[in-house]
């Protein structure tokens, strides 16, 4: 989401819809980036974590499409410049040369930046939904938020138990 823009928000509903559009674009970008990360990862646990999260991310896209429908809004992407930048940085990790063990640590670092951005976005959108009296939408957003937190925790476990240990031995 651009912080300095000519976008006009006249209600919390306007802002909320913008946030959903931003998240929709972010999730679309992630579905394109994750297969590259799967291919670049050396650790079988890391590959599996990325594969699992790709399937979840596809569900996140579907959930956001459901939310658009529940809101009576067109399914529309608002370019998420933040996620675009985070993914561009992740591409550098995907294309990096050097030790496979260190590259896996770099991939986890990039993936966790994605997860943290998503957690912030979904948490904010959920709170807006609650304020707007949309408990149904808030519940859907909370489901995705919980999955993003779990993905981040899984990446931390993989990093701390093996990948960072192996990278430090290089």
- Residue 6: the pLDDT is 64
Contact of 119 with 152, CB cutoff 8 Å: yes
pLDDT tens per residue, range 30-75: 999 999 999 999 999 999 999 999 999 999 999 999 999 999 999 9
CATH code of the domain covering residue 67 = 1.20.1260.10
Taking each continuous run of H as one helix and of E as one strand, the counts in the chain are 6, 0
pLDDT at 8: 85
Asked if 119 and 82 count as a contact pair (C-beta separation under 8 A), the reply is: no
CA distance linking residue 149 with residue 147, whole number of Å = 5
Domain range for residue 151?
12-168
Give a yes or no: residue 4 inside a domain. Answer: no
Radius of gyration of the chain (CA): 17
Distance in angstroms (rounded) separating the CA atoms of residues 121 and 9: 17
Which pLDDT score is estimated for 5?
Answer: 58
Asked whether residue 71 is domain-assigned, the answer is: yes
**Structural contact between residues 113 and 149, judged by C-beta atoms closer than 8 angstroms:** no
Taking alpha carbons only, the member of 13, 17, 19 closest to residue 1 is 19
Does residue 3 lie in a domain region?
no
Which residues, 6+ apart, have CB-to-CB distance to 68 below 8 Å? 20, 24, 74, 75, 76
- For residue 140, report the phi and psi dihedrals to the nearest 5 degrees: -65, -45
2 within a domain of the structure (yes/no)? no
Number of domains in the chain: 1
Three-state DSSP state, 72 = coil
Along the chain (170 residues), what's the average pLDDT of each consecutive run of 10 residues?
68 96 98 97 97 98 98 95 96 95 97 98 98 98 98 98 94
Residue 5 lies in a domain: no
């Amino acid at each position: 989401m651009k912080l300095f823009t000519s976008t006009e928000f006249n209600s919390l509903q306007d802002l909320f819809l913008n946030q959903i559009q931003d998240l929709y674009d972010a999730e679309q970008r992630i579905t394109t980036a994750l297969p590259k990360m799967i291919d670049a990862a050396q650790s079988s646990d890391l590959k599996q974590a990325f594969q699992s999260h790709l399937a979840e991310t596809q569900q996140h896209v579907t959930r956001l499409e459901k939310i658009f429908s529940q809101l009576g809004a067109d399914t529309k992407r608002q370019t998420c410049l933040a996620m675009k930048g985070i993914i561009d940085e992740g591409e550098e990790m995907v294309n990096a040369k050097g030790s496979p063990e260190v590259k896996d640590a770099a991939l986890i670092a990039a993936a966790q930046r994605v997860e943290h951005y998503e957690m912030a976005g979904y948490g904010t959108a959920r709170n807006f939904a609650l304020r707007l009296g949309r408990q149904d939408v808030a519940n859907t957003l909370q489901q995705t938020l919980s999955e993003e937190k779990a993905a981040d925790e899984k990446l931390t476990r993989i990093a701390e138990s093996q990948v960072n240990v192996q990278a430090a031995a290089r």
